[in-house]
Amino acid sequence: MRKKIFLFFLFFVNFLVFAPKSLVWGEALSSSPVEAVKSIDSIQKNDRILILAPHPDDETIGCAGIIQEALRIGAKVQVCYLTNGDHNEVSFIIYEKRLTFRRSEFIHMGEVRREEAVKAMKLLGLDKKDLVFLGYPDFGTFAIFSRFWQQSGKPYKSLLTRISSVPYKKNMSFGASYVGESILSDLKNVLLNYRPNKIFVTSSFDVNGDHKSLYLFLQVALSDLKGNIPEPRVYLYLVHCVGWPLPRHYHPKLSLSPPEKFLNSQINWMKFELTPEQLEKKHQAILCYKSQTRISAFYLLAFARKNELFSDYAPIKLNRQVSLKDQAVSFFGYAVVDDCFLIRIKKSEELNKSFRMQAYLFGYSYKKPFAQMPKIRIVTKYNRFRIFDKKTLIKPEGVSLELTPDALFLKLPLKVLGGPDFILASIKPYTGMTQQEFLPADVAGFRKIEIRKAN
């Protein structure tokens, strides 16, 4: 009985993620005109392009056109997969036509998806030698980044495979423990060995946890390698955004436009126009993922359009201040005052008792290994708060929360964050169980906040 309830719950979650918004959430989100989006920088013959994919199929959904164009020009391309995508249990049931909860079956699905990736990339022009598979736990890498590092105790255990190390013998990371150090080390080795000058990675404001975590691991890896490799240009590609793209299904004559919810954000959008031949190959490459298209073709094929979308997200640069000035934090924002990190969220007065917030704050210091830095999560409810460092509830001194009629102020000493040079921050305000819509949509995505040294 428990398995049936669990299976229904997982199916419902997958439906919420992949179903058209018109079926799940009511009226669909529209998109901003793609004509207003500038073209991405042209690919050059001497480019070394690295595509980072959380799961097999993400590289095709987001970058199949870029891959083909790079190979046409004569540039180098490598694709690195964070996971084998072994946690998509609904796809497994539809693809295999049977119900199972055995560990070996989910590992088998990960091997199926690996071979699908090899086939799809061969169709686009890449060889096996151009593909790197790591094999970390699908649906588990954000938990690893935020809570599971060696000093924290036991490694992460996958919910379905119930193992704590990479099980795929063909993968580069076979046998690696499910801890942050393993992923970070492997990603740094990929960067050092390949030395890309352009990197395409999933967006920090993608709603999928593995997609966010790959962006976060990349930010840490590039910072660790600063001065050891040329600084690459990083492009973000978006896959999971509720109600986008619409309409669903295959529409090769339509353009792919940015979601309207991001119009008031600081995200800089770019597009790459596909030729008809490149678009048709992208279409065929998506269809190589039979284990996924049998249940979600209507969603995956919606990305096979006239263009691909990319973005960049410039860091916020904060000067240290000795007093708080209104212009430092206006509608929503951050400030550094008297060695404290401040967050301000504007709200309406009637939201006081129902107002909640969850914040992730990951500090990075060039003087200390990232594994030793605090991984802070803050949960607020009305005028109370709890702070966690990885999995541990902590009560540091100097933290304060003030809830005024029109705003929430949270103050956190920088030493609680490990005395960082920059912070990777994500803020999610709620009223009851609903995430607030009055803030810019991108604030829930991770933003790099650089803290400038005092003069």
Is 293 a member of any domain?
Answer: yes
Choose among 400, 395, 397, 360: nearest CA to 383: 400
pLDDT tens readout for residues 196-207? 999 999 999 999
Host H or E run for residue 439: none
Is 413 a member of any domain?
Answer: yes
Phi, psi at 379, each rounded to 5°: -120, 125
Same domain for 349 and 300:
no
pLDDT tens readout for residues 45-99? 999 999 999 999 999 999 999 999 999 999 999 999 999 998 765 555 554 555 5
pLDDT at 20: 38
pLDDT tens readout for residues 237-258? 999 998 999 999 999 999 999 9
Asked if the model's pLDDT at residue 27 lies above 50, the reply is no
CA-to-CA distance for 5 and 10, rounded, in angstroms?
A: 9
Same domain for 355 and 429:
yes
Give me the mean pLDDT over the 345-351 stretch.
72
CA-to-CA distance for 345 and 426, rounded, in angstroms?
A: 13
* Least confidently predicted of 33-37, 174-178, 264-268, 422-426: 33-37
Same domain for 74 and 190:
yes
User: Are 258 and 205 a contacting pair, CB within 8 Å?
Assistant: no
Residue where a domain stops, chosen among 263, 293, 312: 312
Is 11 a member of any domain?
Answer: no
Residue where a domain stops, chosen among 312, 344, 360: 312
**Is-cis flag, bond preceding 247, omega within 30?**
yes
Angle between helices 89-96 and 103-124 (to 10 degrees): 80
Provide the CB-side half-sphere exposure for 63 (13 A, CA).
Answer: 30
Tokens of 143: 């938990």
Domain that holds residue 395: 316-451
CA-to-CA distance for 90 and 295, rounded, in angstroms?
A: 8
CA-to-CA distance for 101 and 5, rounded, in angstroms?
A: 13
Same domain for 323 and 306:
no
Tokens of 210: 């593995």
CATH label of the domain that carries residue 366:
2.60.40
CA-to-CA distance for 64 and 379, rounded, in angstroms?
A: 39
CATH label of the domain that carries residue 176:
3.40.50.10320
Is 9 a member of any domain?
Answer: no
The number of folded domains in the chain is 2
Same domain for 351 and 286:
no
Greater confidence (394 vs 354) lies with 394
CA-to-CA distance for 305 and 280, rounded, in angstroms?
A: 9
Same domain for 384 and 289:
no
Same domain for 402 and 290:
no
Give me the mean pLDDT over the 282-307 stretch.
95
Same domain for 196 and 184:
yes
Choose among 68, 89, 101: nearest CA to 292: 89
Greater confidence (409 vs 424) lies with 424
Same domain for 148 and 110:
yes
Is 8 a member of any domain?
Answer: no
For the chain, how big is the Rg over CA atoms in Å?
22
Residue 332, SS3? strand
Give me the mean pLDDT over the 119-124 stretch.
98
Give me the mean pLDDT over the 351-355 stretch.
69
Same domain for 395 and 285:
no
Query: What does pLDDT average to over the chain?
Result: 86
Is 5 a member of any domain?
Answer: no
Q: Burial, 202: exposed, middle or buried (Cβ in 10 Å; 0-12, 13-18, 19+)?
A: buried
pLDDT at 264: 74
Same domain for 375 and 269:
no
Q: Residue 423: what residue type?
A: I
Same domain for 340 and 279:
no
CA-to-CA distance for 396 and 21, rounded, in angstroms?
A: 42
Asked if the model's pLDDT at residue 353 lies above 80, the reply is no
429 confidence band (pLDDT: 50, 70, 90): confident
Is 4 a member of any domain?
Answer: no
Residue where a domain stops, chosen among 279, 312, 345: 312
Other beta carbons less than 10 A from residue 418's beta carbon: 21
Is 243 a member of any domain?
Answer: yes
